[in-house]
Amino acid sequence: MSERPEQLWLGAPVVLASRSAGRARILRNAGVPFTVHPADIDERTLEIGVAHDELALKLAQDKARHVSREHPSAIVLGADQTLTIAGALLHKPGAMGQARDQLLSMRGRSHTLTSALAVARDGEILFRHRETATIIMRRFSERTLDAYLAAMGDRALASVGCYEIEGLGTHLIARIDGDWFTIVGLPILPFLAYCRKHGLLRD
């Protein structure tokens, strides 16, 4: 009889310091048991003075460190993602009109996603990793954009790019250059390698 995926995991459940459904889905599909405890931190304040290409890693570490202090001895996984286009940093839109404007600004252009993760225990960072991916958007029509946003609803506000690469967002994209997990927001392969090295996963 073959092993169930969760039988590959040897440690206690990971604490995921993120409310991202995409990150939770990646962990679940990989058979990593976890609980969710989003980090209560002010991201906009923490990003002041930090270079755009360093921000995702800083926030991932801050989240992991913060939550790990509330879960003694637990392995806490923090993660974050940033999007830059022509050197400008974008944030999650607060309303559908902002999402529409943001997607129009991205139409026919490339943008960079930087995804980072950090592992912490008892307030100490044990492991960190960062990867980037490039997305080239189609020159989609405004009619297509409006239909897309109507179908997505509030889900379009859940990510900085206003799209889900694993879902309807594929209709807006011409090409991707990079790791799929990085695009979703959790470059999990380095995390799994870390877990195998430290006896949390079967080797």
For the chain, how many structural domains are there in total? 1
Mean pLDDT of 110-118: 97
Residue 202 lies in a domain: no
- CATH number reported for the structural domain that contains residue 111 in this entry: 3.90.950.10
Residue 99 lies in a domain: yes
Proportion of the chain in helix, strand, coil states, percent, rounded to 5:
40, 25, 35
- DSSP 8-state code for residue 201: B
Q: Looking at the annotation, which residues are catalytic?
A: 80
Could you tell me the pTM of the whole model?
Answer: 0.90
122: three-class secondary structure by DSSP: coil
- Contact in structure between 8 and 32 (CB atoms under 8 Å): no
Domain span including residue 110: 5-197
- pLDDT tens sequence across 133-143: 999 999 999 99
Identify which of 146, 112, 158 has the alpha carbon closest to the alpha carbon of residue 132.
112
Residue 203 lies in a domain: no
What CA–CA distance (Å, rounded) separates 74 from 13? 8
- DSSP 8-state code for residue 203: -
pLDDT > 70: percent of the chain: 97
